[in-house]
Amino acid sequence: MRKSLILTLLISLSIAPAFAGTIKVDSMYAVLKTEKEDTNKVSTLISIGFQLIYKANYSVGDSLSEYALQLANRLDYKRGIARALRNIGLINTRHGDAKKALECYKEALKLYEGMNDISGQASVLNSLGNLYDQTGDYAMAIDNFFKVRDMFTSIGNKQGVAIASNNLGIIYLRRGNYPKALDNFLVSLKGFQELGQKNYEMEILLNVGIIYDEQGENDKAYTTDKQVLQMAQETGDKRIEANVLDNLGNLFQKEKKYKEALAYSEKGLKQHEENGEKVEVIASLNDFGQTESHLGNYDTALVAFRKALAIGEDVNYAEGIGSACNNIAATDTLTKNYTEALEYANKGLQMGKKIGSMSLIEDAEGILSSIYARKGDNSNALIHYKAFITARDSIYSNQNTKKMVAEEMNFDFDKKQAEEKAKQDQKNLIAEQERKKQAVIRNSFIVGFALMIALAFFIFRGYREKQKANLIITQQKAEVEQQKELVEHQKAIVEEKNKDITDSIHYASRIQHALLTTDEYLGNHLKEYFILFKPRDIVSGDFYWAYSTPKGAFHIACCDCTGHGVPGAFMSLLNISMLNESVIERNITRPDLVLNDVRTNIIKALNPKGLDTESKDGMDSVFCTIDMQNKMLHMACANNPVWIIRENSLAEIHPDKMPVGIQYGTERPFTLHSQPINTGDCIYLFTDGYADQFGGSKGKKFKYKELKQLILDNCKLTMQEQKTILDKTFESWKGDLEQVDDVLIIGIRI
């Protein structure tokens, strides 16, 4: 179900007052009547036009912006031309004319670049990001918003950074990455609060409400949305009011309170139509139709869905088109109109694949499976059901979910620490009270005892020397006992600390294993394989990583980070994150370019100043892309080779003698190796831990030559049998000696 996300329309610093809502439109109109035809009048026209666009008064805003453009052209006022073009682009974006909007933005961007105006460039790139989001090109949207944030950071524009963070949060939310979405929303909210911009607080709060909704915290989502609705009504912001009405309708629909949901959806739809917001009208129609369908009003629902589809095709809104097609197919299935249902479900599936929306794919595959099952076509029903399960698992089993689990564990840990601290504070308070009580008793006792001693002094004077001797003996015995107790106490503390450290490392090991690619995921994409993974310590500096692109190419990496144990594990977590950003977020898939990009990011993270005295950490890595469609294997190797066995003949792909990180000498790009592959070929990736292990009768290294021969001797066996032989040979060779390094070998049979 669609939620009303707020994508902020960014303008440059030169018209920041209008953006902040502090300029009175009426007073501006008064100024226009007396102003000459000069650049000041252009700026005033643009400021009024933008504020009207922001308030959804598109017709008047368009007229003023066009007037400003004409006047700026007559005056050859380039900055005014660029600002007016951006206004016109915003209007076309809201009306769904993506082609015209793109033309305006590109022309404005060219003008700002000619003037070297960073703020102006960032504002146009932000608007381009909004346009790409509307057309379903999320990768381009993210790329633009990152550029916007970097530009505004470079010039110290806090408002621009807050806006870019909000927009990044929205795209991450669309892709299901809730931790990154929430991080960006909170950065944005803090920025707007520091700037005192209440109108933007409403927008961010609305987006945070969607996070609550997605996480099933309906009460928090409802409270947040009602707060935003009240603020929007008090300020007269019709645009935000319409969006929050949509979200309240979604909440009630989720709770199956369909009458309440319908009431909010109708109000939101009506407000969007009055505002002239076509994209929002599409989403509202889809929501309205879903609620009518739940109430059994299928004809009314279909009318709404078909209207949404028509508008979506008119404005080229990809996500809205896909949702409308899936909704029509689902409703046709309920009314047994299977022919039309199949047609629209396939359209929804195609749109989902086109824009890479796993949620659209999941919905379409589920509907197709249901249609074929109802028609008695169990074969096709099973095919689409499996595709539905794959899409669902892709949504809930990706790295983002693992990061959410890690964040949840951190939250539980912090909560536990807070509880323990509260208990300890209470114990300290009781102990302090008891100490004061004992001090009073002790002082009273001392005074009384001193009087008794003074009296007894004269009676027992003769025995004083004997008493002193007895006292010394007693003190010596007490000191011996105290020393013994102190030693036992210190021993207990050391044992407890060791246990805490070991437990923490075991906990870190569970988190590290959660981030490694699962056997289930590898099994879904590889015919036959094995992974021999033997960390030297509880946690490892070696790791493996895999990802399958929607086009079918399978990427796998075998990596050895600097160090082992806890330092190596920290490096492995950093490098896994770098691979995710390069391949999944930046869509870099060619092996040599992946290693180049990861190297650049590692250097930025660990050695930003480029000093020789700083960290030389990084990793040795093999990154392979298996292209089964074209029967090709593409590789890039940093210090570690790749072995390929075909018909008992071993070919070695030699690596670049440099790490993925900081190196001595001139930095060179990694080499791309490409090799044809056939069915039955065996591919081996490995780190240096196996070959460097000391053992045998003379305590020497195992070496690569012996490892190569061992693999050749057993390459015809199954991959699992090969793994067993490699493991037993390693343990036999090591004997009673310690394992010197982490061990990782990956074998794949094509």
Among 191-205, 341-355, 480-494, 617-631, name the one with the lowest average pLDDT.
480-494
**Cβ neighbours of 433 (radius 10 Å):** 10
The answer to whether residues 127 and 90 touch, using CB atoms and an 8 Å cutoff, is: yes
**Predicted pLDDT at 401:** 47
Q: Each residue of 253-262: pLDDT tens digit? A: 888 888 888 9
Give the three-state DSSP class for 76. coil
Residue 629 has pLDDT above 50, yes or no: yes
End-to-end CA, the chain: 41
The answer to whether residues 559 and 621 touch, using CB atoms and an 8 Å cutoff, is: yes
Measure the CA–CA gap between 522 and 547, rounded to whole angstroms: 9
Q: Identity (one letter) of the amino acid at 211?
A: I
Q: Each residue of 515-553: pLDDT tens digit? A: 888 888 899 899 899 999 999 988 899 999 999 988 889
194 compared with 609, residue with greater pLDDT: 194
Token pair recorded at residue 188? 């944005």
Bridge pairing between strands 632-638 and 618-627 = antiparallel
Its pTM stands at: 0.41
**Predicted pLDDT at 495:** 76
Residue 554: what are its φ and ψ, rounded to 5°?
A: -110, 120
Among 166-180, 409-423, 437-451, 577-591, name the one with the lowest average pLDDT.
409-423
Give the three-state DSSP class for 325. helix
Measure the CA–CA gap between 298 and 291, rounded to whole angstroms: 10
Measure the CA–CA gap between 107 and 297, rounded to whole angstroms: 48
Residue 606 has pLDDT above 90, yes or no: no
**Predicted pLDDT at 1:** 41
The answer to whether residues 352 and 322 touch, using CB atoms and an 8 Å cutoff, is: yes
Measure the CA–CA gap between 745 and 532, rounded to whole angstroms: 5
Q: Each residue of 86-138: pLDDT tens digit? A: 999 988 887 778 889 999 999 999 999 999 999 999 999 999 998 888 887 88
Residue 736 has pLDDT above 60, yes or no: yes
Token pair recorded at residue 687? 């780190």
Measure the CA–CA gap between 135 and 157, rounded to whole angstroms: 28
The answer to whether residues 331 and 305 touch, using CB atoms and an 8 Å cutoff, is: yes
Give the three-state DSSP class for 169. helix
According to DSSP, the residues that pair with 656 across neighbouring strands are 638
User: Considering only CA atoms, which of 534, 698, 693, 525 is closest in space to residue 624?
Assistant: 525
- The mean pLDDT of 613-633, rounded to a whole number, is 86
Residue with tokens 């990956």: 746
Q: Which domains does the chain have, with CATH numbers?
A: 1-183 (1.25.40.10), 401-513 (no CATH), 518-749 (3.60.40.10)
**Predicted pLDDT at 469:** 62
Q: Each residue of 151-161: pLDDT tens digit? A: 999 999 999 99
pLDDT band at 197 (very low <50, low <70, confident <90, very high): confident
**Predicted pLDDT at 402:** 42
